[in-house]
Amino acid sequence: MSDHAAHAHGAPTTPWPLVISIGILFLIPFAFMAKFVYHQPFAAILCLGLGAPMIIMGIIGWVREAIGGAEFPEMRGLGFGAMGWFILAEALIFLPTFATYWLMRLNADEWPPAGTVDMPALLPIIMTVILVSSSFTIHYAEEALEKGREDVFKKLLMVTMALGLIFLTMSMYEWNHLFHQGFVMSTNIYSSTFFTITGLHASHVIVGLGIFTAMLLPALNGTINHVFVRTGSLYWHFVDIIWFFVVSQMYFW
């Protein structure tokens, strides 16, 4: 947008928010309703095929405009504070799922409810170690950037992303494993909360990886927005902290 600001009184414009909004409309509500409400899998695939590229295109366009900095000087550096507010909202997305889980569990006659299979114990420990180390790597990446060592920053950012991907893959493997044992969302109240909460957390990991991608690609071309890096890394720490709640409540209680 900085190049638009040069036109003295013309208000700046950008198409990407509108593109992303339409993309979200197709990707989530339309696709879900086509598949699960109206049972039209082909229409659902069509909606996914329309929505996903629109969102990706929109984010790419948005990042290209925004990575250079804010329109007015007083808008610079506000992302970090805003992320604090956003994390407050994010935490309250998780709270009701945990509250529901606690209430159902404490009121249950027997626990675990019928149909529950043996939950793995080693895998979640390995996943925890991986996610915690990714929090360390992004922290050191941030420190390297502050010292001006951009090459170290890029490498550590890539390591963080790799750790996040490994975490997701293990999560996927575990879900698949449980599905094969007949433990699915509709099995009982434990499976309902288990898949909802781990799924919700995994979706946050995906968003975090998206943020890192939006950081990495411009960085490889030589543009690094320091506020964006600090903001994204704060988000990643939050995703990491939430995992402690997920893992302790879902596997080890």
Considering the complex, state which of residue 8 and residue 122 has its C-beta at the smaller distance from other proteins: 8
108 touching other proteins, by CB under 8 A: yes
Q: Which two tokens stand for residue 111?
A: 């626990």
* The one segment of 18-26, 152-160, 201-209, 222-230 that binds other proteins by CB under 8 A: 18-26
Query: Does the footprint of other proteins cover residue 235 (CB under 8 A)?
Result: no
Choice from 3, 6, 10, 147 touching other proteins (CB under 8 A)? 10
User: Least distance in Å: CB of 237 to other proteins?
Assistant: 18
3-state SS, residue 15: coil
Identified binder of other proteins from the candidate list 1, 125, 126, 129, rule CB under 8 A: 1
Query: At CA 55, angle to CA 54 and CA 61, rounded to 5?
Result: 90
- What string of DSSP letters covers 173-232? HHHHHHHHTT--TTS-HHHHHHHHHHHHHHHHHHHHHHHHHHHHHHHHTT---HHHHHHH
Considering the rule CB under 8 A, would residue 193 count as an interface residue with other proteins?
yes
253 is a contact residue toward other proteins (CB under 8 A): no
* Residue 116 found at the interface with other proteins (CB under 8 A): no
> What's the CA gap between 77 and 55, in Å, rounded?
25
Q: Three-state SS across 24-60?
A: HHHHHHHHHHHHHHCCCHHHHHHHHHHHHHHHHHHHH
Tell which one of 33, 46, 60, 67 touches other proteins (CB under 8 A). 33
Alpha-carbon gap, residue 191 to 115, rounded angstroms = 9
Using rule CB under 8 A, residue 13 touches other proteins: yes
Query: From the list 3, 6, 107, 122, which residue makes contact with other proteins (rule: CB under 8 A)?
Result: 107
Pick the closest to residue 198 from 180, 175, 164, 173 (CA basis): 175
Residues 198 and 109 sit within 8 Å (Cβ to Cβ): no
The footprint of other proteins on residues 74-103 (CB under 8 A) is: 74-75, 78-79, 81-82, 85-86, 88-90, 92-97, 99-100, 103
* CA 253 – CA 247 distance, rounded (Å): 9
CA-to-CA distance for 162 and 164, rounded, in angstroms?
Answer: 5
Q: Is 182 in the site for other proteins (CB under 8 A)?
A: no
Residue closer to other proteins (CB basis): 55 or 127? 55
Residue number with CB closer to other proteins (10 or 222): 10
Q: What are the structure tokens assigned to 155, written together?
A: 């490498």
- Which chain residues interact with other proteins by CB under 8 A? 1, 8-18, 20-22, 24-25, 28-29, 32-33, 36-37, 62, 65-66, 71-72, 74-75, 78-79, 81-82, 85-86, 88-90, 92-97, 99-100, 103-104, 107-109, 113, 184-186, 188-189, 191-193, 195-196
